[in-house]
Structure formats: C-alpha cells, structure tokens
Amino acid sequence: MSENITGDTFEQEVVQSDGLVLVDFWGPQCGPCLALMPAVEKLEEQFQHKVKVVKLDASQNRRFCMSMKVLALPTFLIYKNGREVDRLTGGTLTIGQIESALSRILE
C-alpha cells in the first residue's frame, strides 16, 4: 500500500531509500490525480515490491512542491537509489506511461 509522505519526510522516505521510488504528487482538487490514484496504488503490488510508491499531497506541501519545481498536477517523480531519474507530468498522463517508465528504469 502506498504511503503518504510530506516535505519533511521526503528525504528519509525517498532520497535515503535504496532501489526505485515512485513519488505521486497529487491534490484533492485534481481530477486527473484522483482518476489515476487507484491504479497508482496497485503499482507497488504489480512490480512485486521492486518499486516503493509514496504519495505527497501538494495542497498541504506547497513550498516543498515549489522547491522541487513541481508546478503542475499530477506529477510523478521516479527516484533510483536516491537520485531523480525521471519526471512525468500533466493532466493527460496515463497509467501506461507510468508503467512504461518504471519498466524501462528497472531493465
């Protein structure tokens, strides 16, 4: 099950994690975010624990989002061993695009 994080816990939960971490920047007023959420929550199970999935509510972490240059929702950041390796963003983003990015990085 994906875990909720904040700007304060980002370093510990994402940057200090080994392996792949998918960070879902979402907002309660973001229709595309809410539409993707059920499928995103299944990704950790689908990738057999090769990917840690965390969610960050942008409406509660505005300054942190600005510092990360997350300017639109939904935005997904993919970290590998503490470094950002991919960034996907936009209202037309599909779960297939997210899956493809994770698969490519896992290869």
Residues facing residue 77 across a β-bridge: 23, 87
Residues with active-site annotation: 30, 33
Dist CA 90 CA 75 (whole Å): 7
Residue extents of the structural domains in the chain: 3-106
Ordered per-residue pLDDT tens for the chain, 107 residues: 689 999 999 999 999 999 999 999 999 999 999 999 999 989 988 998 899 999 999 999 999 999 999 999 999 999 999 999 999 999 899 999 999 999 999 98
User: Using only C-alpha atoms, what is the Rg of the chain?
Assistant: 12
pLDDT at 44: 85
pTM: 0.95
Look at residue 49 in the predicted model and tell me its pLDDT.
Answer: 82
- Residue whose token pair is 């390796």: 85
Q: Does residue 32 have a cis bond before it (omega within 30 degrees)?
A: no
Contact 74, 30 (CB under 8 A): yes
CATH architecture of the domain formed by 3-106? 3-Layer(aba) Sandwich (3.40)
**Which stretch of DSSP H or E encloses residue 65?**
helix 62-67
- What pLDDT, on a 0 to 100 scale, did the predictor assign at position 96? 97
Question: Over the stretch 50-64, which tens digit does the pLDDT of each residue have?
Answer: 999 999 999 999 999
